[in-house]
Amino acid sequence: MNSKSIDILMDPNVKLLPNQGDPLSDLEKYMRLVEKLNYLTVTRPDISFAVSVVSQFLNSPCEDHWNAITRILKYIKGSPRKCLLFSHNNHIKVICYSDADWTGSPSDRRLTFSYRVSIGNNFISWKSKK
């Protein structure tokens, strides 16, 4: 709580690899923190990529991986208002829209697919893929 906050989520000069540095002594602490950060990505999609990177090392985390987690926490501390807000409404219907286009690109004829999911008026997920 007393640490300094930061504005950049991941250090672009640091590449995380398996078995990089000294192994962590408290594996359970690392796993619990990654689990909580995963849960937080529901309202903080800006940290999703960084959390997915640190979750790759759950089997054998090292000091550099722990430093990446503390960097995520410092970023969250410095940006408390960067989150999705869900408004209260009288219905909680799950609404999903999807679309697929087989001929959208005549040069390669690849499928373009997308979907959007919301609960009531609250947008929660989307994906588009070619």
Indicate whether 104 pLDDT > 60: no
Q: Quick one: how far is CA 64 from the chain centroid? A: 19
pLDDT average, residue stretch 57-86: 84
- Give this prediction's pTM: 0.64
**Cα maximum dimension of the chain:** 57
Q: How far apart are the first and last CA of the chain?
A: 43
Percent of the chain residues past pLDDT 90, beyond the cut: 16
Mean pLDDT for the stretch of residues 89-100 = 81
Calculate mean pLDDT across residues 96-108.
71
Q: Is the pLDDT of residue 33 over 90?
A: yes
Q: Name the pLDDT band for 42 (thresholds 50, 70, 90).
A: confident
